[in-house]
Amino acid sequence: MARIIGGVTTSHVPAIGGAIAKGLQQDPYWKPFFDGFGPVRHWLAETRPDTVVVVYNDHGLNFFLDKMPTFAVGAAAEYRNADEGWGIPQVPPFTGDTALSWHIIESLVDEEFDLTTCQEMAVDHAFTLPMALLWPDQIWPVKVVPVCINTVQAPLPSAKRVWKLGEALGRAVTSWPGDEKVLVLGTGGLSHQLDGERAGFINKDFDLKFMDSLTADPTWATQFDTHQLVEQTGTQGVELLMWLATRAALGAKARELHRNYHIPISNTASGLMLFEPA
């Protein structure tokens, strides 16, 4: 049977791609962020996952405001990205794990999640940059399954609903009869707001409480509704929903192996965590 060997949660702001392209990893502004990934890459080299389920949010490359599904799962043989207008270089295409994708889709539908199934799908910086942070040579040693959650246009799924999605995702993976080792990668956040009167808002105290909770009390954030999460984390900080889904997929208990927290990168509080199922 397939098994989930771990989960990684990390930020995905476009400026990361610019820093990679310009070779700024050791620049004083960026070094505390990039240095955080060393232990995660070491763990990946030891555990060697076969497939990565990437839980992320699309920013308009594949879905736009006229068509914004709550939950979408990719079932393509290949995924490419394109120019989003940020000036980020495109990365090599990703190979899809189509068999596992269809199993996940069917399992989630059986659990009464209404999905958009994508047999063609472009992936944006929320997908590509975290993958490039984990495998800097961009020679992808894994297949991928994209799972996209709407955090852009109201109404957003609640934290409780996203937690349930993550639990169902974990059940789907572990019921797959293959022998794949699966990594769940959740991207986004942490607290940040890019527009409006609170542009530049960061809530370090809430971020750290949230990170602590993912080990000690992983459903803690599900007590907050969407408006409360936006109040605490900013309009874009609600991307922590992808972290919740990732943590839920790991089961009731998980060990935290590594974390990094740094302020700011591009007006964003950046976080990184690595978990193994207990």
Burial 36-68 (b: 16+ CB within 10 A, else e): bbeebeebbeeeebbbbbbbbbbbebbbeeeeb
Q: Is there a contact between 202 and 192 (Cβ–Cβ < 8 Å)?
A: yes
Tokens of 40: 């995660």
* Helix axes 159-174 and 98-110, enclosed angle (nearest 10): 130
Rg (CA), the chain: 17
Number of H helices, E strands in the chain: 9, 10
Catalytic residue check, 103: no
The torsion angles phi and psi of 196, rounded to 5 degrees, stand at: 80, -170
The letter for the amino acid at 76 is A
CB 242 within 8 A of CB 11: no
239 DSSP 8-state letter: G
**What are the structure tokens assigned to 269, written together?**
């509080």
Q: How far apart are the first and last CA of the chain?
A: 18
Query: Catalytic site residue 192?
Result: yes
Distance, in Å, from the CA atom of 18 to the CA atom of 87, rounded to the nearest integer, reads 7
Alpha helices in the chain (DSSP H): 15-21, 31-34, 38-47, 98-110, 125-134, 159-174, 204-216, 226-233, 240-249
Q: Of residues 125, 227, 258, 262, which has the active-site annotation?
A: 125
Residue 5 DSSP label: E
Given 12, 59, 103, 192, which residue is catalytic?
192
Residues noted as catalytic: 125, 192
